[in-house]
């Protein structure tokens, strides 16, 4: 027993004390210095949020026929949390599921892996606690197989969910107007950082069309089910549910009957053009309510069945939608297609001439050809009907009078040595008519068309100068092999363009006057311009949507087409034009198409357009409005690469009027009319609290459906109910 | 002798007088008990009961059982343990020296029994014997007592003129320790192994062994540990669990789970804690083994820094009293007994709380006096009984 032992005890003392002190220090660090961070982690640990998707609002036509509604579909979802808790990480369950669904295990596995940097799609961009839908097209038999064998499918549920349905009332398709839905992408989620709760990944996002424009209102607000869970994922407390707020219904001014008629009308014109041996590639039709700026129909050819998007589009369908061969049916020709307008453009040019001082009552010669500079510009098919007033110039569509207006204005602006501030009356009037810029209609991806003014020409020259100057030297040896004359012409053109291609030439001015050359418009722009002429000069931003209404029927807001401008000419000029255009259908270029139409009761004013496109057949246009004495509608139809306006455009417009007014066999049958009184309904369709929809008075929403939209009928997630808590955790 | 109490009589005290006066007499064993130690142990027992109650209540409620059933069992075990401890304290510890070999052999027998079909596996460690009635015995807990007793016997033999244990005694110590350690290795129970190592080293040190022995053993232990690691003698899960504390985020749902959940529970307690029964991590049973190995996380979450630190302080008081008893004991055998017990409890405390705080590996060691479990409670209280026994009879010269 010596001092050594005591010293050693002291050492032991120090050792023990230091052990305890280090524990205390660590405790202080954990609890006091970083306690807040751990408290947050603890909260995340316990709280689990499941997004309850909101039923998306329906899109209705003007009398309440659903253009898009929802149907109940059986959706198989995988809960990754439950799967992960399986001893093998859920591999066996997924393999069984793949077999049951008839898909591959690796495919399912890829679908449910969380998206992250370096993870290829498919992957799951949503919350990892969210059941991931893996199949939205299962049969009820398959769903039952899964639900009945819960113990074999932990974490797998089959649930009834609402998916988009396209009832096509009266066979109206309107695919490009409606748009479609796609799962939210990671980029979109990132962009909406603050709103991520609203875009949980279960939701799909509106792409294109009304689904995109009114996505916020249509989607509603998803509910959140907050649950306190234990370590096994068992719900411990009562779930707090913030119920989903269903999306608003979008009432549009589209009339399914007119829409269907417009689609069929352009389709039959395309068929006719093709039967005549013309390509007739694209077509569009627009019907506007000239008094309100509402869109009544917006048809595009070719089209497609939008239901192919529901439940995930197949690769084959997707490729077809985007391919040239399939005609790229996703593109709305009425708003995105840009075409030379031809003579339909003359209303703008005529207004420009009158504003520029040409006498509205004057008499003008319509020669067979008109010399612009050193080039001779011919009348259509070289006709020379002699002197006439402007009224007749529109009715017979005399080009040479308009060449002359354009040329003379060009000369007054200084010709090839333009003044510092040239007047360019036709360019300015075209802009006043709304050409050269998007109309602002409420669907995305609208084209602006093109008004080729001096600035445009200069910019274009700058962009193409290098190439032109190269061609001016090298010429076109490839073209020369087959067509030496053309090669020489092209070379001369390139030389000229290289040198002074920015110069606003007399030919440019003349072509502009008749809507040729580089002028491009969208069918909607043209319809909107004619609507302005028809309504006395008010240009509007067209609107397809009329109102947003809650599913219980209360109005959220009315949507009106804002005023976008006023035509500069006084009313009498527009009235003069309307009168002239009225004769087009009676005795002018449109008379053939309107033969047998009760023009005495419903006078239709219109203008044909036959726009030459180099290397292709003409664009066939007809732009119109009716009734002339008290205009209500503007209707435009166009078939590209087809032929004369009178042959394809005008008959299509005629068919649309037939549908609007119920004309058949030269008589008006109000029962068949989409608008029995020739007017769109003033009131909105009524949406009852029970989901029923009734048409405004005077209209019938008669269709083969009309029940309330499919609601959400949740079935308990299979994985959650069966597992019993294991006491403690083996590790 | 440093304390001026050399005039005290024998442990048994005066033979005359009533029982009451004997008990309350100044020289009575009851009054000479280390009451600070008793108070600390009782305080920890109360805390222990509350924490076990809180840790087991939610699961019992979920299962529809009596929410107090674990509490009742625990209180019963504590009571039995206190009786056992009192009995041991009343025994003359020097008598125990004679019985040390028997204690040792019984303990080794228990460890062998674990390896027979009598044994049962809990949490990957085959260290239990089921004795029916819902009771299990963990012989390795009692083996700790036996190890302390047998080493104290070997190294505490009075030797004339020798301040340093003979090499032969050291070899004997190591040889005797090797048997239970080998048996424990077979279970395998890494935590108890580490405690054994700490006890052996601590006792050899206080026994005055040569430094070369101490450092040699330390180095040898490290080399052996590395060899075990590299040669793959341990199971994969043991290594995983062993290393998980260093980086729980590496595998949050696997072996890092315990470590991470323990950290979250303790960390979320903050300064004052969520309040008893109000720890949501505890109520959601996120921390596994919470009433046994991870009991400290309940304290961390529900009692906060203040309460958890108090537990550490109470354990510190016990260790301090233990060391004090060792120092005051003039006889090597008693001193070594106290030293062994302190080393055992100190190291086990450090490893256990450390694993709840993420600074030591996760090994299946209970927190002395606090964790739920009969064997450990009994062993711990027997150890306290031994300390009290040494304390009562520290004055070797007058015995």
Point out the least confidently predicted range of A201-205, A284-288, A393-397, A611-615. A201-205
For residues A354 and A352, what is the distance between their CA atoms, to the nearest angstrom? 6
Q: Is it the case that residue B309 has pLDDT exceeding 50?
A: yes
The count of CB pairs under 8 A between chains A and B is: 174
For residues A209 and A90, what is the distance between their CA atoms, to the nearest angstrom? 40
Q: Does the model's pTM come out above 0.80?
A: no
**Cα A275–A624–A260 angle (5° rounding)?**
55
Question: How do strand A66-78 and strand A59-60 relate by DSSP bridges?
Answer: antiparallel
A724 inside 8 A of chain B by CB? no
B165 inside 8 A of chain A by CB? no
* Residue A278 token pair: 């013309």
Q: Is it the case that residue B1 has pLDDT exceeding 60?
A: no
Among the partner-chain residues A15, A41, A731, the one whose CB lies closest to the CB of B258 is A731
β strands within A500-584, DSSP E: 538-540, 545-549, 555-558, 563-566
State the helix-helix crossing angle for B190-206 and B139-155, rounded to 10 degrees. Answer: 20
Confidence of residue A309 (pLDDT cuts 50, 70, 90): confident
For residues A249 and A218, what is the distance between their CA atoms, to the nearest angstrom? 7
> Considering only CB atoms, which chain B residues are within 8 Å of A228?
280, 284
Among the partner-chain residues B271, B284, B342, the one whose CB lies closest to the CB of A230 is B284
Average pLDDT, chain B: 84
What integer pLDDT is reported at residue A727 of this predicted model?
A: 30
Closest by CA to B325, choosing from B398, B390, B381, B399, is B390
pLDDT greater at residue A319 or residue A335 = A335
Q: Is it the case that residue A713 has pLDDT exceeding 70?
A: no
> Considering only CB atoms, which chain B residues are within 8 Å of A22?
350, 359
Confidence of residue A193 (pLDDT cuts 50, 70, 90): low
What integer pLDDT is reported at residue B54 of this predicted model?
A: 92
> Quick check: A240 and A226 in contact, CB under 8 A?
yes
- Burial (CB count within 10 angstroms: exposed 0-12, middle 13-18, buried 19+), residue B193: buried
Q: Is it the case that residue B258 has pLDDT exceeding 70?
A: yes
What integer pLDDT is reported at residue A697 of this predicted model?
A: 82
The single residue listed with the structure tokens 């442990």 is B11
Provide the percentage of residues in chain A whose pLDDT is more than 70.
87
> pLDDT tens, A570-612?
999 999 999 999 999 999 889 999 999 999 999 999 999 999 8
Closest by CA to B204, choosing from B162, B181, B173, is B173
Mean pLDDT of A647-669: 93
A20 inside 8 A of chain B by CB? yes
> pLDDT tens, B262-281?
888 888 888 998 888 888 77
Q: Is it the case that residue B8 has pLDDT exceeding 50?
A: no
Separation of CA A3 from chain center: 95
> Considering only CB atoms, which chain A residues are within 8 Å of B267?
30-31, 34-35, 37-39, 41-42
The nearest CA of chain A is from the CA of B131 a distance in Å of 21
Average pLDDT, chain A: 85
Mean pLDDT of B298-316: 94
Which chain A residue lies closest to B291 (C-alpha atoms)?
A728
What integer pLDDT is reported at residue B254 of this predicted model?
A: 56
| Residues contacting residue A243 through CB under 8 Å, at least 6 positions apart | A52, A223
- Burial (CB count within 10 angstroms: exposed 0-12, middle 13-18, buried 19+), residue B144: buried
> pLDDT tens, B126-178?
777 877 666 678 899 999 999 999 999 999 876 666 668 888 889 999 999 99
B124 inside 8 A of chain A by CB? yes
**Cα A538–A251–A556 angle (5° rounding)?**
95
E strand or H helix at B119: strand B119-122
Mean pLDDT of A3-18: 91
For residues B354 and A539, what is the distance between their CA atoms, to the nearest angstrom? 78
Residues, chain B, total? 399
Phi, psi of A701 (to 5 degrees): -95, 30
Point out the least confidently predicted range of A44-58, A588-602, B76-90. A44-58
Q: Is it the case that residue A487 has pLDDT exceeding 90?
A: no
Mean pLDDT of A6-17: 93
For residues B181 and B174, what is the distance between their CA atoms, to the nearest angstrom? 10
Q: In a 3-state reduction of DSSP, which class is residue A625? A: strand
CB-side exposure of A356: number of CA atoms within 13 Å? 24
Separation of CA A689 from chain center: 30
C-alpha distances in Å from residue A591, one per residue of A529, A588, A607: 22, 5, 10
What integer pLDDT is reported at residue B159 of this predicted model?
A: 65
Q: Is it the case that residue A560 has pLDDT exceeding 90?
A: yes
Closest by CA to A546, choosing from A555, A558, A528, is A558
> Quick check: A407 and A400 in contact, CB under 8 A?
no
What integer pLDDT is reported at residue A658 of this predicted model?
A: 95
C-alpha distances in Å from residue A703, one per residue of A167, A170, A249, A545, A693: 10, 7, 18, 21, 11
pLDDT greater at residue A25 or residue A227 = A25
Phi, psi of A515 (to 5 degrees): 70, 35
Put simply, the chain A residues between 224 and 253 with a CB less than 8 A from any chain B CB are 228-232, 236
What integer pLDDT is reported at residue A633 of this predicted model?
A: 97
Put simply, the chain B residues between 257 and 316 with a CB less than 8 A from any chain A CB are 257-258, 261, 263-271, 280-281, 283-290, 300, 304-305, 308-309, 312, 315-316
As beta bridge partners, residue B125 has B122
What integer pLDDT is reported at residue B160 of this predicted model?
A: 61
Secondary structure of B287-312 in the HEC alphabet?
A: CCCCCCCCHHHHHHHHHHHHHHHHHH
For residues A427 and A418, what is the distance between their CA atoms, to the nearest angstrom? 15
The nearest CA of chain B is from the CA of A228 a distance in Å of 8
> pLDDT tens, A514-528?
999 899 999 999 999
Contact yes or no for A729 and B208 at CB 8 A: no
> Quick check: A715 and A160 in contact, CB under 8 A?
yes
> pLDDT tens, A90-138?
888 888 888 888 888 888 888 777 766 666 656 665 555 567 778 777 7
* Residue B5 token pair: 């109490």
Q: In a 3-state reduction of DSSP, which class is residue A703? A: coil
Q: In a 3-state reduction of DSSP, which class is residue A441? A: coil
What integer pLDDT is reported at residue A704 of this predicted model?
A: 37
Confidence of residue A640 (pLDDT cuts 50, 70, 90): very high
* Residue B398 token pair: 């007058």
> Considering only CB atoms, which chain B residues are within 8 Å of A731?
123-124, 237, 241, 254-255, 257-258, 288
Most A-contacting residue of B255, B264, B273 (CB-CB within 10 A), to test interface: B264
> Quick check: A281 and A640 in contact, CB under 8 A?
yes
What integer pLDDT is reported at residue A728 of this predicted model?
A: 30
Contact yes or no for B319 and A16 at CB 8 A: yes
The nearest CA of chain B is from the CA of A158 a distance in Å of 27
The single residue listed with the structure tokens 């009928």 is A713
B219 inside 8 A of chain A by CB? no
> Quick check: A56 and A70 in contact, CB under 8 A?
yes
């Amino acid at each position: 027993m010596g001092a050594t032992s005591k010293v050693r005890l002291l050492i032991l003392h120090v050792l023990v004390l230091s052990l305890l002190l280090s524990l205390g220090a660590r405790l202080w660090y954990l609890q006091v210095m970083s306690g807040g961070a751990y408290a947050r982690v603890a909260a995340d640990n316990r709280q689990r949020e499941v997004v309850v998707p909101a039923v998306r609002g329906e899109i209705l036509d003007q009398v309440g026929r659903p253009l898009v509604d929802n149907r109940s579909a059986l959706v198989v979802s995988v809960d990754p949390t439950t799967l992960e808790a399986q001893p093998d990480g859920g591999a066996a369950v997924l393999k069984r599921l793949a077999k049951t669904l008839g898909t591959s295990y690796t495919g399912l596995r890829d679908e449910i892996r969380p998206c992250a940097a370096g993870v290829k799609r498919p992957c799951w961009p949503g919350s990892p606690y969210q059941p991931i839908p893996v199949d939205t097209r299962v049969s009820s038999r398959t769903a039952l197989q899964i639900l009945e064998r819960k113990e074999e499918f932990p974490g797998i549920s089959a649930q009834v969910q609402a998916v988009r349905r396209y009832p096509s009332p009266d066979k109206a398709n309107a695919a490009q107007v409606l748009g479609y839905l796609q799962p939210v992408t990671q980029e979109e989620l990132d962009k909406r950082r603050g709103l991520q709760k609203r875009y949980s990944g279960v939701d799909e996002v509106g792409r294109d069309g009304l689904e995109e424009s009114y996505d916020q209102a249509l989607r509603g607000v998803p509910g959140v089910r907050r649950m306190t869970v234990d370590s096994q994922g068992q719900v411990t407390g009562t779930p707090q549910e913030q119920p989903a707020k269903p999306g608003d219904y979008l009432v549009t001014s589209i009339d399914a009957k007119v829409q269907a008629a417009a689609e069929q009308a352009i389709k039959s014109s395309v068929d006719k053009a093709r039967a005549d041996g013309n390509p007739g590639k694209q077509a569009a039709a627009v019907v506007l309510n000239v008094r309100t700026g509402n869109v009544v129909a917006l048809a595009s050819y070719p089209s497609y069945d939008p239901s192919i998007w529901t439940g995930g589009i197949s690769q084959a369908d997707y490729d077809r939608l985007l391919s040239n061969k399939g005609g790229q049916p996703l593109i709305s020709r009425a708003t995105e297609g840009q075409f030379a307008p031809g003579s339909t453009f003359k209303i703008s040019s005529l207004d420009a001439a009158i504003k520029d001082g040409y006498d509205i009552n004057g008499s003008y010669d319509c020669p067979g050809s008109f010399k612009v500079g050193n080039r001779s510009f011919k009348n259509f098919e070289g006709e020379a009907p002699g002197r006439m007033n402007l009224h007749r110039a529109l009715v017979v569509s005399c080009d040479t009078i308009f060449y002359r207006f354009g040329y003379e204005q060009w000369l007054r602006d200084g010709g090839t040595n333009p003044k510092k501030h040239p007047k360019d009356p036709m360019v300015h009037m075209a802009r006043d008519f709304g050409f050269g810029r998007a109309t602002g209609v409420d669907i995305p991806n609208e084209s602006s068309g093109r008004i080729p003014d001096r600035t445009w020409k200069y910019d274009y020259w700058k962009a193409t100068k290098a190439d032109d100057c190269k061609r001016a030297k090298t010429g076109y040896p490839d073209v020369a092999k087959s067509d030496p004359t053309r090669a020489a012409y092209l070379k001369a053109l390139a030389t000229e363009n290289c040198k002074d291609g920015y110069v606003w030439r007399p030919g440019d001015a003349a072509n502009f006057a008749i809507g040729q050359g580089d002028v491009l418009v969208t069918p909607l722009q043209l319809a909107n311009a004619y609507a302005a002429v028809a309504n006395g000069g008010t240009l509007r931003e067209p609107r397809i949507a009329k109102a947003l209404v809650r599913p219980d029927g209360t109005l959220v807001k009315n949507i009106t087409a804002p005023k976008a401008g006023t035509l500069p000419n006084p009313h009498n000029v527009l009235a003069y034009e309307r009168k002239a255009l009225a004769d087009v259908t009676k005795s002018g270029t449109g008379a053939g198409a309107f033969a047998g139409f009760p023009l005495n009761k419903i006078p239709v004013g219109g203008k044909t357009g036959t726009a030459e496109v180099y290397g292709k057949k003409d664009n066939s246009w007809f732009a119109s409005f009716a009734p002339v004495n008290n205009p209500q509608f503007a209707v435009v139809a166009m078939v590209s690469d087809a032929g004369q306006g009178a042959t394809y455009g005008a008959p299509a417009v005629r068919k649309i009027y037939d549908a609007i007014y119920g004309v058949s066999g030269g008589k008006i049958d109000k029962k068949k009319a989409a608008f029995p009184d020739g007017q769109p309904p003033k009131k909105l369709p009524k949406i009852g609290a029970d989901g029923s929809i009734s048409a405004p008075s005077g209209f019938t929403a008669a269709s083969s459906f009309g029940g309330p939209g499919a609601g959400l009928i949740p079935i308990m997630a299979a994985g959650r109910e069966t597992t019993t808590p294991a006491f403690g955790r083996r590790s | 002798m440093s304390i001026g109490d050399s005039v005290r009589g024998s442990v048994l005290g005066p033979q005359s007088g009533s029982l009451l006066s004997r008990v309350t007499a100044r020289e009575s064993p009851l009054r000479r008990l280390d009451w600070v130690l008793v108070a600390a142990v009782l305080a920890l027992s109360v805390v222990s009961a509350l924490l076990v109650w809180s840790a087991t209540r939610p699961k019992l409620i979920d299962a529809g059982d009596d929410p107090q059933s674990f509490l009742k069992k625990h209180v019963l075990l504590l009571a039995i343990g206190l009786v056992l401890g009192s009995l041991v304290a009343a025994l003359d510890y020097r008598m125990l020296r004679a019985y040390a070999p028997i204690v040792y052999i019984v303990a080794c027998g228990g460890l062998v029994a674990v390896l027979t079909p009598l044994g049962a596996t809990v949490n990957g460690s085959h260290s239990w014997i089921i004795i029916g009635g819902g009771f299990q015995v963990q012989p390795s807990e009692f083996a700790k007592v036996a190890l302390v007793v047998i080493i104290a016997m070997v190294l505490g033999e009075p030797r004339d003129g020798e301040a340093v244990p003979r090499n032969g005694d050291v070899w004997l110590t190591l040889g005797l320790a090797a048997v239970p350690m080998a048996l424990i290795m077979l279970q395998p129970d890494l935590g108890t192994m580490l405690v054994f190592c700490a006890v052996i080293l601590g006792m050899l040190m206080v026994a005055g062994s040569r430094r070369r022995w101490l450092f040699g053993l330390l180095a040898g232990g490290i080399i052996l540990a590395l060899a075990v690691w590299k040669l793959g003698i341990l199971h994969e899960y043991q290594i995983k669990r062993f290393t998980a504390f260093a980086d729980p985020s590496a595998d949050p749902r696997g072996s890092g789970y315990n470590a991470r959940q323990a950290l979250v529970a303790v960390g979320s307690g903050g300064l004052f804690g969520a309040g008893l029964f109000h720890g949501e991590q505890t109520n959601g049973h996120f921390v596994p083994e919470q009433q046994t190995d991870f009991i400290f996380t309940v304290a961390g979450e529900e009692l906060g820094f203040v309460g958890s630190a108090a537990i550490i302080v109470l354990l510190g008081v016990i260790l301090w009293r233990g060391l004090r008893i060792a120092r005051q004991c003039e006889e090597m055998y008693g001193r070594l007994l106290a030293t062994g017990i302190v080393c055992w409890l100190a190291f086990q405390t450090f490893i256990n709380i450390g694993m709840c705080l993420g600074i030591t590996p996760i090994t299946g060691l209970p927190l002395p006096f606090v964790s739920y479990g009969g064997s450990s409670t009994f062993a711990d209280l027997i150890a306290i009984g031994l300390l009290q026994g040494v304390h009562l009879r520290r004055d070797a010269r007058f015995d």
